[in-house]
Amino acid sequence: MAGPALRVLPLGGLGEIGKNMTVLEIEDRLLIIDCGLRFPTAEMVGIDLVLPDFSYLRGRVDDIEGIVITHGHEDHLGALPWILRDLCSDGSEPPPVFGRPLTTAMARSKLDEHRLRDVDVEDLKPTERTELGPFELELVHMTHSIPDASAVAVTTELGTILVTGDYKFDQTPVDGPPADVNRLAQLGSEGLLLLCGDSTNADRPGFSPSEAVVGPHLEQTFLRCDGRIVVTCFASNIHRVQQVVDAAAALGRKVALLGRSMRKNVNIGRSLGHIDVPQGMLVGPREIDDFPDEKLVIVSTGSQGEPLSALRRMAFSDHPQVELRGGDTVVFAATPVPGNERAVNETIDRLYHIGCDVVTAADAPIHASGHGYAEELKLMLNLTRPRYVMPFHGDFKRLELHGRLAEAVGIEPARIFKGDNGLPLEITARGARFAAAERSGMIFVDGVEIGDVADVALRDRRMLSADGIFIVVVTISEQDGSSVADPEIILRGVPFPDEAHELQGELREAVEASLSRAASENVHETDVIQGMLHDDLAEFVYSRLRRRPLVLPVVVEV
């Protein structure tokens, strides 16, 4: 008789940077590790957030033993309220959420924003063991660019799986002890079944620099600035905010926080003792103009060029409190996440146009990655000595390179599984193999609603942004389908509007010709007539303007 099977199903985070989410399943019971999101790319017009496709979980909320969050970054936590709201929309009781104190405080804040106040959110201590059905859960302390980061060790009757989360082996962390290498080595000695490891910096040789080197270099950078200083970093990078505060305090500058998420996370960090701000040092956004330029540091969101972030709005002169000007220095204390380079470069270019000085990590060591380099990935592999390896958290290039690092430390290629979102790894007492793929992909947040925005909707949005829209209103006779009034033609966002307006007479002729064709073919159904009008007018407009605006015919019968 075959024994139980353990399924490891990544729904996000493989073949991409972001929206990390993994489902562990044994005997029809589920444990979810991380619920992350990512931000939309430029071609996702009008989309606000991108979530992992969690269709696999719909209708199975009662099977979920719990949700474990490794740390408080958006790509691991941000989708939590959206997913719980959807899964529990039928009144089902939400599963409990687990994490370390800073992580759970951020989770509670997000759930509260979505009015999901009946979710049980529990703090766990590292090495504390929690029974969740067929799973035994344990968090292992790791170092990252946010406090309270953890790896997740899950023990089942088949063995123990370790999901590293984001980590680096920082020997001089700015907050708390180094990673718990002793416990990692113990897991290896006990026999680790599977390692699911962070691959973000698998392409960078050596060891990552310590976060401790950043603070002194920030202070040196500030010393060279005569005017206002604007520092942008991730709102959740509590360590970096503390270093900015320390550098500002050393130089007698006040600090202002811009961006709702920045203020919220700093308040959470202060309440938990992760940030120490001297009394009277913080000033409100409306007080910024009350202080001399040389006495102020502004800490802002927007290091990734996000469209609605504080820095992006400042760069485009659209911020209600801060107007940037020549003499200001903008310090990027973060590097672009792969895929965000274009938006970041656009923001930097606008800052130069205003007359600001810009300092990035290419100019000074003012950023240290929170993800370990290749030698640290090897160290994790050697400490834990897993039977199987499944690279996580990276595009396909980085997953491949992580697999090669595993081979380099002696793991057989047949035991290394370079997967994809939706491709479950199935482990039994006999071995491991990939099983049939499950549905995966993206779910879009458009406004306050989530849903699979169809490709046609995104295509129409791209057409609108590029070539505009022609709206043609036609009034026809209900009896014979003939036109009973001149067509009304409305143009919006159409390139070369003067040329387009000159075509209006010809457009009306094209409308009449299309209606005559419909009548000659004895077509009377309104939707069919609209379809014929669309095709005829789209062809006509393209032949004259060499553009493909969205053509929207409206047929009214009288």
What mean pLDDT is reported for the chain? 88
Query: What are the Cα distances from residue 533, in Å, to 143, 418, 547, 550?
Result: 62, 50, 17, 13
Q: How far apart are CA 65 and CA 58, in angstroms?
A: 14
Topology of domain 455-557 in CATH is Ubiquitin-like (UB roll) (3.10.20)
Which of the given ranges, 184-198, 430-444, 504-518, has the highest pLDDT on average? 184-198
pLDDT digits over 259-279, tens only? 888 999 999 999 999 999 999
Indicate the pTM of the whole model: 0.80
Rg, Å, the chain Cα set: 28
Is residue 198 flagged as an active site residue? yes
Superfamily of 211-359 according to CATH? Metallo-hydrolase/oxidoreductase (3.40.50.10710)
Q: How far apart are CA 202 and CA 194, in angstroms?
A: 18
Outline which parts of the chain fall under CATH 3.10.20.580: 455-557
Q: Which of 367, 371, 393, 402 is catalytic?
A: 371
pLDDT digits over 307-340, tens only? 778 898 999 988 888 999 999 999 999 888 777 7
CA atoms in the 13 A half-sphere facing the CB of 546: 0
Outline which parts of the chain fall under CATH 3.40.50.10710: 211-359
Percent residues over pLDDT 90 in the chain:
64
Q: How far apart are CA 378 and CA 39, in angstroms?
A: 30
Residues shown for the chain: 558
Q: Looking at the predicted structure, is the pLDDT value of residue 429 above 90?
A: yes
Helices (H), 149-234: 181-190, 214-223
The owner of tokens 């659209």 is: 318
Termini Cα distance of the chain: 73
pLDDT digits over 175-197, tens only? 889 999 999 999 999 999 999 99
Task: Write the CB contacts of 224 (distance below 8 Å, at least 6 apart in sequence).
Answer: none
Where residue 356 falls among pLDDT bands split at 50, 70, 90?
Answer: very high
Where residue 513 falls among pLDDT bands split at 50, 70, 90?
Answer: confident
Is residue 527 flagged as an active site residue? no
Q: How far apart are CA 265 and CA 107, in angstroms?
A: 11
Alpha carbon 388 to its chain's center: 28
Q: Looking at the predicted structure, is the pLDDT value of residue 411 above 80?
A: yes
Per-residue burial over 310-337, b if 16 or more Cβ lie within 10 Å, else e, is bbbbbbeeebebbebeeebbbbbbbbbb
Query: Rounded mean pLDDT of 192-208?
Result: 97
Q: Which of 53, 86, 180, 198 is catalytic?
A: 198
Encoded tokens for 452: 């699979």
In degrees, rounded to 5, the angle at the alpha carbon of residue 231 between the alpha carbons of residues 226 and 232 is: 155
110-114 long-range contacts (CB < 8 A, ≥24 apart) are 110/77, 110/78, 110/80, 110/81, 111/80, 111/81, 111/84, 113/81, 114/81, 114/82, 114/85
Task: Write the CB contacts of 430 (distance below 8 Å, at least 6 apart in sequence).
Answer: 2
Outline which parts of the chain fall under CATH 3.60.15.10: 6-207+369-451
Q: Cβ(345)–Cβ(140) under 8 Å?
A: no
Where residue 1 falls among pLDDT bands split at 50, 70, 90?
Answer: very low
Q: Looking at the predicted structure, is the pLDDT value of residue 458 above 70?
A: no
CATH tag, 6-207+369-451 = 3.60.15.10
Biggest CA-to-CA distance, the chain: 86
Helices (H), 272-368: 310-315, 341-354
